[in-house]
Structure 1
């Protein structure tokens, strides 16, 4: 819990991506536990189940983003042109009005919710960035040499949406006051980080909207593997799920698979595979022996926080960077999402299940997360920023 100070008001600005909401909610829970006030700018349908009926919410509505199958540099361009820029245009007025009406001491913005950062900057308010992925923290300059210049050009387009003259000294992706990176160097390695970036490890908290789970089907006599590609890539995953199901067939006598997939994606699953559209991830993690993931930083970090080794099948955006980091940390292996054969997937999964070094690597990363402090440390940094801004 944060050290108690006079009550400060924090306004969180988020985008309608479920995987981006859990961390700020966990940080907000710590701030509220310390007596501070928290309000939200974001989609009502996503936030209400997480923050409760009494939380102050300035709704933005929801603009859906369905990624295409692009990978590499094309996927980065698709992310910005198909999601980040339209989403910021969509939330611009709501974010601006919320800052005006709520009068926060500090605005806390998702790294892609640039409209929130800009609304704070225009009023001379301190703002903090929280980074839920690795694309911006550790940019893919080897794969995309023009990444920094290209993204800065996209950021200028956000300034242009408001008619405010561009301030070249301000990168709206990274607050000059405080940048919260939800990881540690045990995972990132020696990669350079933005100025003012503090690594707190993942922010894990209560999830009031966690779904129920069919625990009566859990087999305590077998080892357990969670297979998930998150919510934004599921429409690309049918073939990967087919290969993954085939890959686990030789292990069926000793492994039970929990696979997250919508209706119809895994028709007629074999008896050793439990299929559910959503699962209570944080309840499952302490009971898992391995995770197979697309490489979203949130789910991978949740696994490593519990000492669970990972097989990463990266799809796009920052997933390849997360896969490299997991591999370098000795906490798992990387396979091809598009082309790994069932035999290759069996080999990778067997390795992380049976070779102790991978679990030891995952535990080392998890221990670094604990030492970094997670949501509590992030909340303490925000409280200190509010105190500094108020002259306290």
Structure 2
């Protein structure tokens, strides 16, 4: 089988797709990957073939706060989300679709697999012209409409009372006005320009149904209850972390010296300002001789840290999460979805502080699941971080809940589940064609 992978040009979107691409290649499938040219080295380092995307869609999301100063001025919330969806995900949609159409002709793939924010698959799916089946892999929480009416974005926990329902309705009305409805109108205008019909619902809800299968890379117990889900929505467990070929750092044996291990990361997207989480965490825990504090800067030079590393801290641009997480006692994170799921797969409880992108929603699920503490801020103080780490380390309920989630992850054979879904989708398409 030949599979065409299509990724939004951001490492946090591409890495999950590369994980699936490696699975497919390992069993003998032919794989082609299209994304921004800046990420071509990631594709080629995985031993996969890169296909360029149209110039109008050839973006690089790794340093948005530097390259897009207009976005940097927007506070977290509906205005920033609207900007992201319109400028980053919908403006490239026509060019992404044109790239896919060209690659369908050139490569004749049996299947297209894209991340859920690569909107170029929507025009392909809505177009009555024949096309390969489309599988979407979510790189974030399940963005279905909530049964309790809570809107996407603010990170509201499930409603339990009539007061909660009323709160959700009021906040949803505001979010709909400032984000959901304008984004749908923007998407509909883009589709109309391509001669296609409007969406039949909010963009991200509709995207879940613009495919033949929708992969959710977590377990049901780390997602809210949406009731009975359509058969094409499948929970597939956590995708593996990117493999690391770098040698282990010289301090690695210290992980076994009896101290509790705290890992702090801001991921690869919201890491322009390391003073948001990494630096206050280092300051908060600097005097704790009982802790070993590990920092990964998400690819940025360690020298970018504005303070000297305390005696109990070690830092690296990247760390091998698959090997490291089983040795970690608490993860401090701004709420990157992939990182959070990898931690829970390893049974690691979490302290989370993040509001940008999808992070408020991820943080809310950490707290709701019982596997960690949500500080519900983008700029936590050192005092709040210190108290949060103490809370997670002291009260074993967080670790017990994280370990229960780890057992749920362990029960899923993720490669087998994903590859069987791809095979079923492709075989159904073959049957229809025959």
Q: What's the TM-score bracket when you normalise by the shorter of the two chains?
A: 0.7 to 0.9
Match for residue 391 of structure 2 among 346, 351, 355? 351
Q: Which residue of 2 aligns with 1:129?
A: 136
Deviation of 1:169 after TM superposition, in Å, equals 5.1
Give the Cα separation in 2 of the matches to 1:152 and 1:193.
25
The structure-2 alpha-carbon separation of the partners of 1:159 and 1:172, relative to structure 1 and needing over 3 Å to count, comes to: farther
More relative contact order, 1 or 2 (CA 8 Å, 6+ apart):
1
Give the Cα separation in 2 of the matches to 1:92 and 1:193.
32
Match for residue 185 of structure 1 among 220, 223, 226? 220
Give the Cα separation in 1 of the matches to 2:337 and 2:145.
12
Deviation of 1:230 after TM superposition, in Å, equals 1.1
Q: Which residue of 1 aligns with 2:79?
A: 74
- 1:189 aligns to what SS in structure 2? coil
Q: Which residue of 2 aligns with 1:42?
A: 35
Give the Cα separation in 1 of the matches to 2:280 and 2:172.
30
Match for residue 83 of structure 1 among 82, 85, 88? 88
Deviation of 1:63 after TM superposition, in Å, equals 1.2
- 1:391 aligns to what SS in structure 2? helix
Deviation of 1:44 after TM superposition, in Å, equals 4.3
Q: Is the 8 A contact 1:258 1:274 kept in 2?
A: yes
Deviation of 1:89 after TM superposition, in Å, equals 4.9
Give the Cα separation in 1 of the matches to 2:319 and 2:103.
33
Q: Which residue of 1 aligns with 2:312?
A: 272
Q: Which residue of 2 aligns with 1:16?
A: 9
Deviation of 1:348 after TM superposition, in Å, equals 0.9
Question: Is structure 2 residue 20 aligned with structure 1 residue 27?
Answer: yes
Question: Is structure 2 residue 154 aligned with structure 1 residue 154?
Answer: no
Q: Which range is displaced more, 138-147 or 220-229?
A: 138-147
After TM superposition, list the pairs within 5 Å mapping 1:332-371 onto structure 2: 332-371=372-411
Give the Cα separation in 1 of the matches to 2:94 and 2:208.
15
Deviation of 1:54 after TM superposition, in Å, equals 5.5
Deviation of 1:239 after TM superposition, in Å, equals 4.2
Tell me the alpha carbon deviations over residues 156-191 of structure 1, each in whole angstroms, 9 at most, x when there is no partner: 244245x23225459345434111111222111313
Q: Which residue of 2 aligns with 1:3?
A: none
CA RMSD, 1 decimal: 2.6
- 1:236 aligns to what SS in structure 2? coil
Match for residue 98 of structure 2 among 77, 93, 99? 93
Q: Is the 8 A contact 2:142 2:223 kept in 1?
A: no
Q: Is the 8 A contact 1:225 1:291 kept in 2?
A: yes
Deviation of 1:50 after TM superposition, in Å, equals 4.3
Give the Cα separation in 1 of the matches to 2:185 and 2:228.
20
Deviation of 1:286 after TM superposition, in Å, equals 1.7
Deviation of 1:320 after TM superposition, in Å, equals 1.3
Q: Which range is displaced more, 366-375 or 145-154?
A: 145-154
Give structure 2 stretches of 5+ with no counterpart.
66-71, 152-167
Deviation of 1:192 after TM superposition, in Å, equals 5.5
Give structure 1 stretches of 5+ with no counterpart.
1-7
Give the Cα separation in 1 of the matches to 2:109 and 2:392.
46
Deviation of 1:71 after TM superposition, in Å, equals 1.0
Q: Which residue of 2 aligns with 1:254?
A: 290
Q: Is the 8 A contact 2:353 2:375 kept in 1?
A: yes
- 2:9 aligns to what SS in structure 1? coil
Match for residue 232 of structure 1 among 258, 262, 269? 269
- 1:372 aligns to what SS in structure 2? coil
Deviation of 1:79 after TM superposition, in Å, equals 1.6
The structure-2 alpha-carbon separation of the partners of 1:239 and 1:208, relative to structure 1 and needing over 3 Å to count, comes to: closer
Q: Is the 8 A contact 1:295 1:323 kept in 2?
A: yes
Calculate the TM-score normalised by the size of structure 1.
Answer: 0.88
